A and B are shown apart, each in its own frame.
Chain A
Amino acid sequence: MSPEFSQYIPIGMLIVIAIAFSAGLLVMSTLMGQKGRRPAIKDTAYECGMLPITPAHGRFSVKFYVVAMLFVLFDIEVVFLYPWAVVFKSLLKDPQTGPLIFTSMLTFIGILFVGFIYALKKGAFDWGTRAKQ
């Protein structure tokens, strides 16, 4: 077997063990577990404790939408910060790239900070109280 393939053997083993383990648990629970009552609801799909079938147009607070949007924005900030944090030490030593890498990130964070202040002042982070206009 070529070395490219042999490095995937552990992954293959993991898959086999995972299947065997979960299948084993199911078999063991049917063989050894208690047989209780079995109402219809127990046969429905398990979806984190929520009812799997509900009206599609459920209502939820618009605040979740704002929080999700802000989360995506500041998540992207971290996406940019990570690779920067990995290389900035070595690049800062070089006088050619040092100021560049510093000011670039500072500009990016600065623009994001303006957005942060805007969201803050518009009350996007006030969960309990009524949002100020």
Chain B
Amino acid sequence: MNFSLLKLEMATCGLAMLVLMLEVFVQRRDRRFLGYVGAAGLLAILAWSYCPSVTAGGFTVGSGFGGMWVNDLMALYFKRLFLVGTALVLVMSVGFARQLEGGVGEFFALLMFACTGMMLTASVNDFLMLFVALETVTMSFYILVAWLRRQQQSLEAGVKYLILGALASAFLVYGITFIYGTTGTTGFAGVAAFLKANAASAPLKIGLLLVLAGLGFKIATVPFQAWVPDVYQGAPTPVTAFLAVGSKAAGFVLLLRVLFDALLPLKPTWVLLIGALAGLSVLYGNLAAMPQRNVKRLLGYSSISHAGFLLLGVAAADSFGVSAVLFYLFAYLFTNLCAFTVISCLAGTLADDERENYAGLAQRSPLLAAAMTVALASLAGVPPMAGFFAKFLIFAAIIGQAKWCLVIIGAIGVVVSLYYYLGVVKAMYWQEPRETAAIPVSWPMKALLWVTMLAVVGIGVFQGALAQRALEAAKELIK
């Protein structure tokens, strides 16, 4: 029993509790500084995760708690991703705080509790632990999505997310009972050993399918995507951003662990399944995004198509494909946060997120328009943005596996996506604005925009270091 394996999670959870306590004890009307406290704390934990005592010497790297928990390079990779993402979302929430009713301190604390849950998912090595970690994330999101409780859209999003999320959790836990009933164990290693020794029986297959359905809800892949557009549109913008980058990455790390640890003996079967889901998600997400006029909804459909691209990397099923997925998630994180920061900066000024309101944004705020353009170009995969290299790696991986059908579907998806992403760019630069008043952007938001923009371009240009780390992490998953 080695509690030092958990110290990053314990620190994050402690930080969230500290913010909660500051919220009730500090007598200050403006509580927005709590967001900065949280972001600074998370960045400190991120820096701590680079300490030699954490990364080397077997101090924190290893497995424990009866095999339920594994801390390897991939876990660390994802934990850093969650820490970076949450810190940036916290800064974004500070800028969004005027739109938030009720306590902002609780909002920040819940974001960090969700982050703790995501970090737990990165180290899961057991189906029970998987359920607990995933529920920690989802429970926090149920509250966050419905935070603007006086707005009908947010409430609607909250109810939809709650009911579909509960349904997905029910699928998941039902599947776990089948797995436990047939194999007699919940550990990934135990399930893999069972599958190696015995043929998979029908109840076990049902259980595994149900678990995959539960995870499919998290990563928003077809056919579990129905909640995405409505929830993305209705939720407070920082929460939408966090759903898109954090919740999706948490779903993917669990999917990778389940597929490559527990279900490795069934690889020939699930490669087909994941490939089919990937193709469907790419096609559905991109085609359904085309008629969208609401930018948040559009990013919701784009999130489905990106889940498809990520699944293409999983369907390649080798260490290169997995490393492409890991790289993609980091590129997607900065890209999406950049786009959603723009949307959240506009939340106080524009009536809603319809594309017509973005007309002539370049004249009203050149910085916002430029940031949105960078983000959309990266989402579409235009060089030299981070999204380009991420898609390049994914395509290289599936071409390496000679899955030509998936390559063609992916290429169609990329071409189609250019249409609707550039439609927004066109509105921002080549349409006349309805109003001409300049849109004020506070300096923390400006800083956040610059950081995410530079990260998107920087990862795209200097992709070597990150790709290297992703490959190291992926090689540890696939021995």
Contacts and interface: CB of A to CB of B under 8 A. Distances in A.
A100 interface: yes
Nearest to A111: B17
A84 interface: no
A80 interface: no
A117 B18 CA distance: 12
A63 interface: no
Interface in B396-449: none
Contact of B20 (A100, A103, A118): A118
Nearest to A114: B17
A118 B19 CA distance: 11
B1 A114 contact: no
A121 B17 contact: no
Contacts of A121: 24-25
B24 A100 contact: no
Interface residues on B, range: under 10
Contacts of A103: 3
Contacts of B20: 114, 118
Contacts of B3: 103
Contacts of A118: 20-21, 23-24
B113 to A, nearest CB: 10
Nearest to B24: A121
Nearest to B102: A133
Contacts of A114: 17, 20-21
Contacts of B24: 117-118, 121-122
Q: Decide if the interface of chain A is mainly helix, strand, loop or mixed.
A: helix
A122 B25 CA distance: 10
A121 B23 CA distance: 10
A50 to B, nearest CB: 30
Contact of A100 (B1, B13, B17, B21): B1
Interface string A95-133: 000001001000000010010011001100000000000
Interface string B162-206: 000000000000000000000000000000000000000000000
Nearest to A113: B17
A100 B25 CA distance: 32
B104 to A, nearest CB: 13
Interface string A70-114: 000000000000000000000000000000100100000001001
A111 B116 CA distance: 14
A111 B24 CA distance: 16
B73 to A, nearest CB: 27
A115 to B, nearest CB: 8
A103 B2 CA distance: 12
Interface in B1-58: 1, 3, 13, 17, 20-21, 23-25
Contacts of A100: 1
A37 B258 CA distance: 72
Contacts of B13: 111
A29 B38 CA distance: 70
A114 B20 CA distance: 8
Contacts of B23: 118
Contacts of A111: 13, 17
B24 to A, nearest CB: 4
Contacts of A117: 21, 24
A109 B449 CA distance: 41
Most buried by B among A100, A117, A118, A121: A118
B380 to A, nearest CB: 44
A114 B105 CA distance: 14
Interface of A: 100, 103, 111, 114, 117-118, 121-122
What 3 A-B pairs are tightest by C-beta distance, nearest first? A121-B24, A114-B17, A100-B1
16 contacts: A100-B1, A103-B3, A111-B13, A111-B17, A114-B17, A114-B20, A114-B21, A117-B21, A117-B24, A118-B20, A118-B21, A118-B23, A118-B24, A121-B24, A121-B25, A122-B24
Given A100-B1, A121-B25, 14 more contacts: A103-B3, A111-B13, A111-B17, A114-B17, A114-B20, A114-B21, A117-B21, A117-B24, A118-B20, A118-B21, A118-B23, A118-B24, A121-B24, A122-B24
